[in-house]
Amino acid sequence: MVVWKDRKTSSMSILMINLAIVDTLVLWIWANQVAVQALCAVTGSCSHYELIKPFLWAYLWPVGATVQLMATWSIVSITFTRFVSVCWSARATHLNSRRKVIIRLCIMYMFCLIFNLPNFFRLHVITDDDGRPRLAKSRITSSLLFIYGYQVFLYYLVIYIVPLTLVIYFTVRLYSSLRQWNKKREDMTAKARDNHDLTFSLVIVVLVFVICQLVNPIHRLLAAIYPKTENVCGSVRFYYKSWASILVNFNSASNFFIFCLCGIGFRRRLVQMCCRRGSVEPSHFMSNDTTRRGNMGRTIESRE
């Protein structure tokens, strides 16, 4: 809602709205699939949940995996767009137009859906002799091509190696620009300082993203080392699995608060909206990628 009014003029607003929607879906699916299960295990109630649990894991889990992949590549997309605005300002008009950004998002959605299609056929629900539903694995899960080609090679490549490499590269370049801008912050205009704060916010978002995402590959490595019989309360794998799930969802929950803490322009608009001091006017905070690209760089150059 904070950047909603800028969606027709700023491609960065479109990306931030997309990130907010995807993060919300990640948290909603996690709450329905994992949090409710944990609550039932602690309280010992929720007998009806055991009847719908197989359906949640068979049909909701693939949706959650798809949305989680969208969240990962949304971070890549928003970091790339900011990288272009800051480091390739001459190309920003072409690469960061609303049309190009929307096309990139549509391609990302299609790619995430196609990549996760096999997950929709991994599990299915069957009925026992007593009429209770239970999960059953499909034949595809016994294929060596599926296990090593998809679950190991492609999984790590698409979900961890490629996106982490890209965001780390973009962030290093952005951080290098931040260091140069910090030396001349007093000479910047208010518009340039807002753009600086946006870049700083994205750097923090990426740092949290990298830290949280690195935990899950370690969990998968522990799952390969330790047998399933050790996935019980008190074992290393049991606790690490819980922390891996918590950190991945913490990543989705923290982005809004990072923008609030680190982005002065974003925080100012949020206060205006919450206090109902009239309508929230378009802000310099989101004006860096369309009509005012490269303002920060040009401001610094003009003062030199």
Across the chain, mean pLDDT equals 78
The DSSP-derived string for 34-73 is IIHHHHHHHHS--TTHHHHHHHIIIIIHHHHHHHHHHHHH
pLDDT digits (tens, 9 = 90+) for 84-103: 988 888 888 888 888 999 99
What does each C-alpha distance from 103 to 98, 108, 109, 112, 289 come to in angstroms? 9, 9, 10, 14, 16
More confident residue, 24 or 42: 24
Is residue 203 a contact partner of residue 178, using CB atoms and an 8 Å limit?
yes
- Beta strand spans in 113-179 (E): 123-127, 133-137
Output the pLDDT for position 290: 46
pLDDT at 136 > cutoff 60? yes
Output the pLDDT for position 296: 43
Give the separation between CA 263 and CA 196, rounded to whole angstroms.
9
More confident residue, 157 or 232: 157
Q: pLDDT confidence of 288, banded at 50, 70, 90?
A: very low
Q: pLDDT confidence of 73, banded at 50, 70, 90?
A: very high
Query: For 3-7, 18-22, 210-214, 249-253, which range has the lowest pLDDT when averaged over its residues?
Result: 3-7
pLDDT digits (tens, 9 = 90+) for 202-223: 888 899 999 888 887 777 776 6
pLDDT at 159 > cutoff 80? yes
State phi, psi for 134 to the nearest 5 degrees.
-150, 160
Half-sphere exposure of 160 (CA within 13 A, CB side): 16
Is residue 266 a contact partner of residue 201, using CB atoms and an 8 Å limit?
yes
Query: For 7-21, 124-138, 235-249, which range has the lowest pLDDT when averaged over its residues?
Result: 235-249
More confident residue, 190 or 146: 146
pLDDT at 158 > cutoff 90? yes
Output the pLDDT for position 234: 61
pLDDT at 232 > cutoff 50? yes
Output the pLDDT for position 297: 44
Is residue 222 a contact partner of residue 236, using CB atoms and an 8 Å limit?
yes
Instruction: State the average pLDDT over residues 239-246.
Output: 74
More confident residue, 50 or 146: 146
Q: pLDDT confidence of 157, banded at 50, 70, 90?
A: very high
pLDDT at 108 > cutoff 80? yes
* Domain with 138 in it: 4-303
Say how many domains are in the chain.
1
Give the separation between CA 227 and CA 6, rounded to whole angstroms.
52
What does each C-alpha distance from 88 to 147, 162, 255, 284 come to in angstroms? 41, 21, 25, 19
pLDDT at 67 > cutoff 90? yes
Query: For 65-69, 100-104, 144-148, which range has the lowest pLDDT when averaged over its residues?
Result: 144-148
Output the pLDDT for position 236: 64
Output the pLDDT for position 111: 96
CATH code of the domain covering residue 272? 1.20.1070.10
Query: For 108-117, 143-152, 172-181, 283-292, which range has the lowest pLDDT when averaged over its residues?
Result: 283-292
Give the separation between CA 244 and CA 262, rounded to whole angstroms.
26
Q: pLDDT confidence of 299, banded at 50, 70, 90?
A: very low
Task: Quickly count: other Cβ atoms within 10 Å of residue 237's Cβ.
Answer: 17
